[in-house]
Amino acid sequence: SYELTQPPSVSVSPGQTARITCSADALPKQYAYWYQQKPGQAPVLVIYKDSERPSGIPERFSGSSSGTTVTLTISGVQAEDEADYYCQSADSSGTYKVFGGGTKLTVL
């Protein structure tokens, strides 16, 4: 089955830059999406189509793509950014959607 690979955890101090990666073979062909999930809450879309930011999402959230890896970057991390982050994409045909295993962002 097709999988997206994320690091289980990332830790940064407030004000620093956090980078969360997501890797898979089909990412050069399929867009990636990023979701933020805080405890007890539903996921919230923070990046779509690799690098686009939805309305209402702070500018410190950005996305990029290079080959088989996409990256969510949070610049000037704030305590409120502590959450689980999931990438989502599709297999090479675009038919089957898939989520990564999630990355827990800890703000030290």
Partner 1 sequence: QITLKESGPTLVKPTQTLTLTCTFSGFSLSTSGVGVGWIRQPPGKALEWLALIYWDDDKRYSPSLKSRLTITKDTSKNQVVLTMTNMDPVDTATYYCAHRMTGGSGSYPGAFDIWGQGTMVTVSS
Residues that bind partner 1 (CB under 8 A): 1, 31, 33, 35, 37, 42-45, 48-49, 52, 54-55, 86, 88, 94-102
Minimum separation from the CB atom of position 31 to partner 1 (A): 6
Minimum separation from the CB atom of position 52 to partner 1 (A): 8
Q: Which is nearer to partner 1, 36 or 71 (CB)?
A: 36
> Both tokens of residue 49?
């189509």
Distance CA 11, CA 44 (A): 20
Minimum separation from the CB atom of position 3 to partner 1 (A): 11
